[in-house]
Amino acid sequence: MINILLFLSIAMADKIKIAVIDTGLDFKNTNIQICDTGHADFTGNGMNDVNGHGSNVSAIIDEYAKDAPHCQIIIKYFNKDTSYDFVTALAYAIKLKPDIINVSSTGTDPSDEERIIVKTALNKHILIVAAAGNEGQNLDVKCNYYPICYDGVIGVGNLLNPFRRNPTSNYGKKLIWEIGTNINAGGKTLSGTSQSTAKISGKMIYQIYKSRSK
């Protein structure tokens, strides 16, 4: 975590901003700290979370950020069982200049455009924290899940408990680890690397806040 923080800009800000690229949010039934502007829907189905995944992830982030002054920018690119243009959503998130981008999705098809966008974010000192995926694959043998396999992206794996990896989680030396099994938040209990990723993003918000307060 300390090495990650060395990568951050030390510029002060009123609030730490995190862009959450996911399934939206139930805005009417949440106490999550939301940014005033910047929210976007790339599905054409409205911002409301009909899946429940995004609401779960956002609630976890909020919980683990503790008392750090922060806000979330909700970017919806997935609706029910259909994903839309992730690359466009990621490029949009970068334009908002958040401190962190939380990505709960992964895929096996890389693209030059996506790689360039990721590099652009890193060059702007934006952290990308992404789920490792839930296929039980050894990424040290073949790292073919994206965006986590792009250089500089922080990949997160799922633990069953502090001592055991969830067997469904992709794994490898490049990952950091967090318990992401049976996590109740945002009105839903879910398991996976998405939940682990949300915890790490929340913890990073808190660490950034503490580092800037020194």
Report pLDDT for 28: 82
How many angstroms separate the CA atoms of 211 and 12, rounded? 10
* 47-87 pLDDT tens trace: 999 999 999 999 999 999 999 999 999 999 998 888 888 99
Q: Helices (H) and strands (E) in the chain — how many of each?
A: 5, 12
Supply the DSSP symbol for 29: G
**Per CATH, which fold does 2-213 belong to?**
Rossmann fold (3.40.50)
pLDDT of residue 214: 75
What does the domain layout of the chain look like in residue ranges?
Answer: 2-213
Tokens of 101: 């981008």
Q: 51-71 burial, b if ≥16 CB within 10 A, otherwise e?
A: bbbbbbbbbbbbebbeebebb
Say what the pLDDT of residue 2 is. 41
Per-residue confidence (pLDDT) for residue 30, from 0 to 100: 81
Give burial (CB, 10 Å; 0-12/13-18/19+) of 81: exposed
Q: Residue 92: its pLDDT value, please?
A: 97
d(CA 12, CA 30): 28
**pLDDT < 70 stretches in the chain:** 1-13
pLDDT at 105: 87
**What is the C-alpha to C-alpha distance for residues 132 and 135, in angstroms, rounded to an integer?**
9
Q: What is the pLDDT of residue 58?
A: 97
